[in-house]
Structure 1
Amino acid sequence: MSTPNLPSRRLFLGMAATVPLAMTGVLTAGRSARAAAGSPYVMAYFTESRRGLGTSYGLHLAVSTDALQWMPLNQNQPVVTPTGGDGGLRDPFILRKQDGTFVVLATDLKGTDWTKKSQVIHVWDSADLRSFDNYRLLKLHEMDTHSWAPEAFWDASRGQYAVIYSAVNSSGHNVIMVNYTTDFRTVTSPQVFFDPGYDVIDGSLAMNVGGVNYLYFKARNSLVGARSASLEPGSFTVFTSGLAPQGGIEAPILAQADGTWFLWGDANAIFYAWQTDDLSTGTWTATDRRVYTQPLNSKHAGIQPISQAVYDGMVAQWGKPAWNRLKSYNFPDRFWRHADYLGRIDPYPFDPYTDSQWKLAPGLADASGVSFQSVNFPTRYLRHSYYQLRLDVNDGTTRFAQDATFHRTAGLADASWTSFRSHSHPDRYIRHYDYALRIDPITTAVGRADATFSLGY
């Protein structure tokens, strides 16, 4: 949930060199995602872009094999959209239930009118995250307040699921509330789950990590952690100071991959993350931004481990993107785009976001190569002209085909990344210089870094 002054939830990783971090304190990402080694993951989110061109208040899904690099499904369009309440959702959360099926919860809000006070949340059931059934609105309380950023967990001591969410209680500030349920159709009366005496929002849990439960939340524009040996309402105590990049952050998520815990958060649609090998230490290190890529236009996400069969079924059902984005190696906050028909790298996010989407077509001059076809100007391709990359209309000439064809090679700065050699000038590679894309001979370490890119989504 994103509000002007209040805390909110969910997050991604940041590069220490470019993101000033308050590194004191333990933060563990909300929606705790723990899985066996090699298990894939699903991310649920909604979308917003700078000028609203990519905004959609429906349920979006992405998948990952490492919980770091994400592939949007259904061409980054929603797989289902609410028909009740405010007609849109924010802050979706997926819970795998005790019977192996899933339930989807989300805030009932379309847009950013924080004065709306919905007492309900959206709910769907799903057997396999390919179909979403039994849509309903679940009423949580009768109070004159909102029901933001719902999450749920299984409380074995009660034999019930707990639904936690943000609301204003009689205290007059935002707290984390809880209701209990067995079926996500009826709930018990609300109780205060966590109230440190000041505004908190976007509560997320990491449960039974070395016998301790960790609750992470947004407070004072940073992510703060509390912990408890039980899951009882009122039992959590704060044990960290805030963690945030400049400008504040919200929406914590905790995901464990190959023994490492990652804490994700959302700073105005830019996901950052930190990592630790031990949640109990309270020591977090900023994760290199090179190693993760958030789904395009994603906001306030939730992460859940899934089986390989569910992953395969989702990809078969919803399809891989028909486009790619390319990220800079030495400026990993920047992506390829065209602007005024010139190629360049700019910081994500931006609008029109479609300027950064490319269809990798077989090379116009050599099918073993690649040509970069614009998604939003499909008659135009990137080609070099006087060594600068331009987005020009394909005129059908041999010269154009040669200038618009490139050959993929192992990354010049990192062989796990990608570089692109010019077809017509094979001694030159695509690189950025003063953020403009061009082709140059590469002879230095800086040049090799400038000419190395990640091909993803």
Structure 2
Amino acid sequence: MSRLLTRLAAILVAVGLFFTSQSLATPQRAAAADPGYLMAHFIGEGSTGQQMYLAHSADGLHWNDLNGGAPVLLSTVGTKGVRDPALVRSPGGDKYWIIATDLCIGCGQNWEGSINNGSRNLVVWESTDLVNWSQPWLLNVAGAIPDGRNAWAPEAIWNPETNDYVLYWATNKPVDGKTKHRIYYARTGDFRTISTPQIYIERPGTQEIIDTQIVELPAGVGAYRYVRASGDGQITLEGSNSILGTWTNLGNLSGIGLTGAQVEGPMWMKFRDRNEWTLYLDQYASGRGYLPVTTTDPSAPGSYKLPASGSYNMGVNKKRHGSILNLTAAEESRVLARWSDIPAKRLQSFNFQDRYVRHANFDVRIDQNITGPDAQFRLRPGLAGSGTVSFESVNYPGYFLRHSNYDFQLVRNDGTAQFAADATFRQVAGLADASWSSFQSYNHPDRYIRHYAYQLRLDPITTATGRSDATFRVTN
């Protein structure tokens, strides 16, 4: 009897293994409930293109622009433009950073100046939830490099051997008067202070290297724990078992027709539902943004495949040199709730119908025939309570209409309960016309948003004029 049971058990195990092998041979998309992916990126040149954008994907290949395609963060420091963002999560998942190149081509800078006398700083933001971000700060990474001319394309990875982050970036340190970017690194625990920069990657002669990104592989995949892809005239692949150890050249992607003359900005993404990776490459030479190249072994150059036609969609915004984070369910819920595509609206005055609410130098008023982003707001779920609204600026993401001493200004959300209460309102039937709207203060319910001498105020409403002043239409 025991032998029979043993044989039956073996048969059942074999059948199970057969069906398991069949399912692994044909990878399937994870269930729709599985969390997706978040990409931080910039979109191109100009003061608005060189800011911080986010996109979301459920499957890693089809992307939707968040925040209605508008920036989610603006740099207010350094050159006041950012490129090449890296999105970093702490090992415990309780803190996040965005680190980016401090560079704004066409906004007071050109390429020659930024190469030979550019910013030596990186721009850094910090968050505890991927939603509320600190004010940006500048981190001087290249100032201690003798004759270092700039700091470009930062990345960071947690190093378990040293229990801190390896922060790495490109700096131009010319050779014989010729431009030569090398990759430098420093260690940091907080992205506010760093160790003395050291050379991390240097190519022979005058060959430059600017972009590189490292991916960690699970046990059983390839011969190395880490693989890095670099733009150095080719898209070169290297492997190592230690982030700061010796790296071995594995080859490049010229076999599928991709060289550093065509693509740059390598960006790794691991599919969460199968052992497959995408290496996104920015098609800068043709101006087409990211292209996904897939592989089941990042350390094997011959395993990379170009995408089939129609197999991916990058969304409306061009996606350039960025970073992808595999989201947890909680992270995805927060991100989509905060940055979902809420359309931009204007607030039209009831009794001056050629005037609209707008901000100017962070003061708030009603002006005539305003159609631009200064007069556009997203009516987000109220910061302080359900069933309420808060008005977020379209061109200053993270800045909201807020009352202080009953006056209104456009102010950056500081995350405090006081700010949330001051920036939250109940949308009610218009006091002068029920088909329009009025906005009652959340923390001063006897007061409403109204204009007086064209300035926005928070006042009690007791007269017919006041009711007209406090009535608005939410319109496109």
State the TM-score bracket (shorter-chain normalisation).
0.5 to 0.7
> Equivalent residue of 1:309, what SS?
helix
> Equivalent residue of 1:317, what SS?
helix
Write the deviation string for residues 104-149 of structure 1: whole angstroms up to 9, x where unpaired.
1000001262222211100011122211114211111223311111
Match of 1:248 in 2: 262
Match of 2:247 in 1: 236
Matched-pair contact (CA < 8 Å) for 2:278–2:294? yes
Whichever structure has more helix as a proportion of its residues is 2
TM-score, length basis structure 1? 0.58
Matched-pair contact (CA < 8 Å) for 2:37–2:58? yes
Partners of 2:150 and 2:309 lie apart in 1 by 34
Within the candidate set 35, 38, 41, 1:42 is matched to 38
**One-letter amino acid of the counterpart of residue 250, structure 1:** E
1:282 aligns with 2:298: no
> Equivalent residue of 1:280, what SS?
coil
TM-score, length basis structure 2? 0.56
1:180 aligns with 2:187: yes
Matched-pair contact (CA < 8 Å) for 2:53–2:69? yes
Match of 1:309 in 2: 330
Within the candidate set 39, 45, 66, 2:59 is matched to 66
> Equivalent residue of 1:255, what SS?
strand
Cα RMSD of the aligned pairs, angstroms, is 2.3
1:136 aligns with 2:140: no
Partners of 1:297 and 1:82 lie apart in 2 by 19
Distance 1:55 1:82, change over 3 A: closer
Partners of 2:73 and 2:299 lie apart in 1 by 38
Within the candidate set 49, 61, 74, 1:81 is matched to 74
Matched-pair contact (CA < 8 Å) for 2:267–2:321? no
Matched-pair contact (CA < 8 Å) for 2:235–2:258? no
Distance 1:230 1:170, change over 3 A: farther
Partners of 1:212 and 1:195 lie apart in 2 by 21
**One-letter amino acid of the counterpart of residue 88, structure 1:** G
Match of 1:167 in 2: 171
Partners of 1:150 and 1:106 lie apart in 2 by 6
1:318 aligns with 2:312: no
Distance 1:289 1:131, change over 3 A: farther
1:201 aligns with 2:210: yes
Distance 1:300 1:289, change over 3 A: farther
Matched-pair contact (CA < 8 Å) for 1:194–1:236? no
Matched-pair contact (CA < 8 Å) for 1:256–1:262? yes
Partners of 1:207 and 1:319 lie apart in 2 by 30
Match of 2:91 in 1: 98
Report the identity percentage.
26
Match of 2:27 in 1: none
Report deviation, 1:245.
4.3
Matched-pair contact (CA < 8 Å) for 1:40–1:65? yes
Match of 1:157 in 2: 161
Distance 1:195 1:77, change over 3 A: same
Relative contact order, CA 8 A, sep 6+: which one is greater?
1
Partners of 1:149 and 1:48 lie apart in 2 by 15
Report deviation, 1:251.
0.5
Residues 331-342 of structure 1: pairs in structure 2 closer than 5 A: none
Partners of 2:299 and 2:252 lie apart in 1 by 14
**One-letter amino acid of the counterpart of residue 70, structure 2:** Q
Match of 2:239 in 1: 227
Partners of 2:181 and 2:253 lie apart in 1 by 17
Distance 1:298 1:305, change over 3 A: same
Matched-pair contact (CA < 8 Å) for 1:46–1:300? yes
Match of 1:8 in 2: none
**One-letter amino acid of the counterpart of residue 211, structure 2:** D
Matched-pair contact (CA < 8 Å) for 1:213–1:228? yes
1:262 aligns with 2:300: no
Whichever structure has more strand as a proportion of its residues is 1
Q: Which runs of 5+ in 1 are unaligned?
A: 1-36, 324-457
Matched-pair contact (CA < 8 Å) for 1:200–1:217? yes
Report deviation, 1:55.
4.9
Partners of 1:162 and 1:265 lie apart in 2 by 23
Write the deviation string for residues 141-168 of structure 1: whole angstroms up to 9, x where unpaired.
2233111110101111111111110112
**One-letter amino acid of the counterpart of residue 227, structure 2:** Y
Partners of 2:173 and 2:216 lie apart in 1 by 25
> Equivalent residue of 2:335, what SS?
helix
Partners of 1:68 and 1:322 lie apart in 2 by 24
Matched-pair contact (CA < 8 Å) for 2:34–2:329? no
Paired residues in the alignment total 282
Report deviation, 1:208.
4.1
Match of 2:374 in 1: none
Structure whose CA Rg is larger: 2
Distance 1:151 1:215, change over 3 A: same
**One-letter amino acid of the counterpart of residue 238, structure 1:** N
> Equivalent residue of 1:288, what SS?
coil
Partners of 1:302 and 1:249 lie apart in 2 by 16
Matched-pair contact (CA < 8 Å) for 1:45–1:59? yes
Partners of 1:76 and 1:225 lie apart in 2 by 33
Matched-pair contact (CA < 8 Å) for 2:250–2:300? no
